[in-house]
Structure 1
Amino acid sequence: MPTADPEFSQHDNAALASAVRALRNGQVIACPTEAVWGLSCDPHSDAALAQLMRMKARDPAKGVIVVAASIAQFEPWLKDLPYALYAPLLTSWPGPVTWLVPDNGTAPALVRGDHDCVALRVTDHPGMQALCEAFGGPLVSTSANRAGEPPAMSAAEARAIFGTQSGAELGAVVAGPLGGRTRPSQIRDLASGRMLRA
């Protein structure tokens, strides 16, 4: 069962710890991101990923984006990556560029979807950075909406979409501001440099 619904600022260590406990218990949380409110979970929890797909009514074939506080947190995901491919990562992270990185076997099936790459980004959003640091690793980050609907822009909207009345409870709702961006991150293919979302 989901835990209580703590709200916290990035400076509230007790509430941050409560949200991290929810993540470690295989729950989905709602949190502010760079441009919209998002849903996050442990990318290595099959139960959490399955719940996330159900909550969003998302096609599992699409996969999801994984964010980290630093490139060091992505070390297992980047193992065996050719050295030449590191340069674009180092010059664009942290920042609003999501790279499709060849999967080395680290990405669970529901993270990768029907792709041979995994979508990775080192976030520059302070709240997401704090969450990833407290959790001790990367987190799934996807917009807080049902498939085909507009994303939540506030905690209240996230609760209205995913609260108990809709049958899908959130483990926590993280208080804090959005990052001030007006559009989602770019998505680029690391091997070719091709831009898939401007």
Structure 2
Amino acid sequence: MQEKESCSTLRTLLYKTINMRWPIYQASHILKASGVIAYPTETVWGLGCDPFNIEALERIIQIKRRDAHKGLILVAADIKQFEFLLSTCCAEDIQKMSDSWPGAVTWLVPHQHRVPQLVHGQFDTVAIRVSSHPLVQQLCTEFGGPIVSTSANFSGKPTVRCAVQARAVLGPYLDFILQGPVGLANAPSRIIDLRSGRVIRG
């Protein structure tokens, strides 16, 4: 009897693990296939795509009706996923970023033409952040690199804070919605220019 109970408990735990990992896998697979997804972040719901897929980037710009010159934020699971952008940064600057992450601080770093123009917009910097949201971290880990993170709304319209709103507002334009709660932060991330130290927002 005890052995049967142990087997049942093991099956339940295994099912829960698979159940948690499957949506992350689905979202990652869709990102790799040029898809656009909605997902929860620390503050609001975001739209995401592969930052090196021009087709997907163009779709996000069109969905949001956003000015392509504004650029987009990239989020990652850890600072290592941004190494391709930070190879010329000094140790002091790397430490500054490391000390602020994971968390609600977005740094503007020189892009050195290592990301598409739709990501950096009209600027010589690109906005990057290591997310503290567990689902975002898992998604970027499964995807294998940073993803685009821009608010899930039409430009100039209110942001959305739940999956129901995301589906109601943007559902027809999306390939996948990653279910989960929004974080408790009540303000957008701070934005700091790495070179000057100037606080752009926050």
**TM-score, with length taken from structure 1:** 0.90
Shift of 1:33: 0.2
Distance 1:157 1:92 in 2: 31
Q: Which residues of structure 1 form unaligned runs of 5+?
A: 1-8
Equivalent position of 2:176 in the other structure: 172
| Match of residue 188 from structure 2 | 184
Per-residue CA deviations over 1:101-153 (Å, capped at 9, x if unaligned) read: 01122111000000000000011110100100110110000100000001111
Q: Which runs of 5 or more residues in structure 2 are unaligned?
A: 1-16
* 1:95 aligned partner: 103
Which protein is richer in helix relative to its size? 2
Partner of 1:126: 134
Equivalents in 2 of 1:178, 1:54: separation in Å?
Answer: 24
1:10, 1:97 → 2: CA distance?
Answer: 32
Equivalenced residues, count: 186
1:63 aligns with 2:71: yes
Write the mapping of 1:36-185 to structure 2, written as runs, cut at 5 A: 36-164=44-172, 168=173, 170-185=174-189
- The runs of at least 4 consecutive aligned structure 1 residues that moved more than 3 Å come to none
- Structure with the greater alpha carbon radius of gyration: 2
Percent same amino acid among aligned pairs? 46
User: 1:32–1:174: 8 Å Cα contact kept in structure 2?
Assistant: yes
Superposition RMSD on alpha carbons, in Å?
1.4
CA distance in 1, matches of 2:120, 2:193: 14
Change (3 A) 1:183 1:109: same
Question: What is the CA distance between 1:10 and its match in structure 2?
Answer: 9.7
* Equivalent position amino acid for 2:185 in 1: R
Matching residue's letter, 2:138: A
CA distance in 1, matches of 2:25, 2:91: 36
Q: How many Å separate the matches in 2 of 1:15 and 1:163?
A: 17
Give the SS at the match of 2:200. Answer: strand
Question: TM-score, normalised to structure 2's length?
Answer: 0.89
1:192–1:96 CA distance, 2 compared to 1 (3 A):
same
1: CA distance, partners of 2:18 / 2:119: 26
Write the distance in 2 (CA, Å) between the matches of 1:114 and 1:16: 32
SS in 1 for 2:24: helix
Q: CA deviation at 1:186?
A: 0.3
Letter matched to residue 41 of structure 1: C
